[in-house]
Structure 1
């Protein structure tokens, strides 16, 4: 049964859903403090910020990271979108790109969707039968100038109509999804530390350059589904996952 407090219609329409979680601000700040120590640079010394983007990760899922991955509002949203038992709880936040206000910006801001389909050889590709959706977790406050992830609202419908079950590689898929979704409006994934975005696996998104002054910390995490999605998959309204009704 779908949770009536979760705006499934907005996810259906836009291809993403924001979860505001002021109660997790402290956990996000504690996680960020750990990441600063791991990076070996100072939050108070901009001269130590020498690269526009540095990748770190959480693979342990302990301490404040466990508090974030165990978010009760997140579980409610995923149950409403994927069906109870339709997703696998995360043990860690995974990859965390940290974007610094350093020029020139990194050349990594192309429009794309994430790899979502496992291959027999252990690699990953993109297909119309995704096994994952995307979770973005803000570990710092992110305003419009702080390199927010850009999202093409409603682009999941264009991509659903363009992909089939045959896997394609990341580069080829990027060219395709960029082309078919180019007319969609762009929104920025802004918010406060502790907020999350649940993103449809077909929603086209991209990084942005940092025009602000405060480094941006955000985790990007695949949420593995218990069965690959198909239009009208189990416990999910057909219009949420298919290309119908655009």
Structure 2
């Protein structure tokens, strides 16, 4: 794994973090959950809504997807062994996107927040509560399948804004709005890959959902946070790549 690339770019992908059989079993559970929304796997006429949120139960194939050695080793390397809360919750709320030209909602640049602030999720410069964001690809996601768009290196420009906000922090959407246009013009990466791939994102990675979904099959991807309840120390004593990136970012002037 490219640790220095993660510090520089804010993301890394673990290819084949879980195998195709596990991915297929996860999709089967997701399709079962979609039945309560009147969506039938065999009847494309029922795929009318561009995005449907479903709840998937813990355990089973989702536990297997989140428990692979390569993935766990990568999380240990980026956060530090014993510092994050296991297991990784690859199940839970699942936004399933269907092929559609209609706007699915929920698009817009943001970083993930760690607590609910009334109208949005908020976070602070220590990233209290979140060590990484993980994208679990349960279906193949190509460039036509509404892949999430990541602004490479954007995580380095977020710490000065959050530091200025103090312990109260800032909402994830407000962070991105304060960064425009100086950061969002940077090169982007699309979270594409095969079912079984997992992207690991720095908690301050600026990203957005995209549309339309002009592919032919539903896009199935979960995006859980990997919890670090106490956040990161920023006095230079924390050797984790996540903390190193925050400290590096604090040397930059706030971008507006």
- TM-score between both structures, scaled by the size of structure 2: 0.84
Q: SS at the partner of 1:26? A: helix
| Paired position in structure 2 for 1:203 | 205
| Aligned residue number for residue 228 of structure 2 | 225
Q: State the aligned residue count.
A: 238
Summarize the Cα distance change of 1:162–1:175 in structure 2 as closer, same or farther, 3 Å threshold: same
Residue 6 of structure 2 corresponds to 11
Structure 2 equivalent of residue 3 of structure 1? none
- Is 1:34 the equivalent of 2:29? yes
Displacement, 1:7?
1.6
Query: Equivalents in 2 of 1:240, 1:143: separation in Å?
Result: 29
Structure 1 unmatched runs, 5+: 1-5
1:1-246 equivalent positions in 2, closer than 5 A: 6-21=1-16, 23-40=18-35, 41-58=39-56, 60-90=57-87, 92-93=89-90, 94-117=92-115, 124-130=121-127, 131-132=129-130, 133-164=132-163, 165=166, 166-209=168-211, 210-231=213-234, 232=236, 234-237=238-241, 239-242=244-247, 243=249
> How far 1:21 moved relative to its partner?
1.1
What is the CA–CA distance in structure 2 between the aligned matches of 1:92 and 1:236, rounded to whole Å? 22
Do 1:61 and 1:91's aligned partners in 2 also have CA atoms closer than 8 Å? Answer: no
Could you tell me whether the CA contact under 8 Å between 2:55 and 2:93 is conserved in 1?
A: yes
TM-score calculated relative to the size of structure 1? 0.88
Gapped regions of structure 2 (runs ≥ 5): none
- Counterpart CA distance in 2 for 1:52 and 1:87 is 34
Q: In the alignment, is the contact (CA less than 8 A) between 2:17 and 2:68 conserved in 1? A: no
Q: What's the CA shift string for 1:12-46, capped at 9, x where partnerless?
A: 11100100016522111111111111101223322
CA distance in 1, matches of 2:184, 2:149: 13
TM-superposed CA distance for 1:118, in Å, is 7.2
* SS of equivalent residue, structure 2 residue 41: coil
Residue 124 of structure 1 and its aligned partner are, at CA, apart by: 4.9
The root-mean-square deviation of aligned C-alpha atoms, in Å, is: 2.3
